[in-house]
Amino acid sequence: SARLTIAGGGPEDFDERGCCVPRSARLRAALEPIRDNVEIIGPKSQQALSKLYKDKTALIVPSFYESFGMVASEAHAAGLPVIAARVGGLKDVVVDNVTGLLFRNKNAAELADCMYKLASDRELNERMGQAAIRRAYEVFNWVPISEQLEKIYEQAIE
């Protein structure tokens, strides 16, 4: 059966023990029926996240707003498809049906469909993971970024 690992959040999100039990009664109630398949691990370092990505099916970013989508680009670099809300920078980082799946913001049914699609189709998951690595290298690598920046400076000087 599928497992959901929830990483992130701040001290205000967890009980006095530091993590594992969300303070939000609404979230606790929503997770109750599936509590045996959910692990809440709280905030993690970049190094810990990189290790975490290695054995996961996808990264889910259900943000209501995201200015860039750094966590999505990092997951892509690790070969992980991303399921994300179609908001802010996420819709530019995740190429829908290529490096991951996008869903309408705040649409739980679409999010669930995306999760099922990637969890149930290993071949699709692997194909998207490989495409994610290529995109991360081609677009979010410092070499193409510095080349683009150089062109912008050259145009500004002319």
Write out pLDDT tens, residues 73-102. 999 999 999 999 999 999 999 999 999 999
Q: What superfamily would CATH give domain 44-157?
A: Glycogen Phosphorylase B; (3.40.50.2000)
Distance (Å, rounded) from C-alpha 66 to C-alpha 63?
A: 6
User: Where do the structural domains in the chain lie, given as residue ranges?
Assistant: 44-157
pLDDT in tens, 101-133: 999 999 999 999 999 999 999 999 999 999 999
Shortest CA distance to 2 belongs to which of 53, 30, 39?
39
pTM of the model: 0.85
Cα–Cα distance for residue pair 157/118, rounded to 1 Å = 47
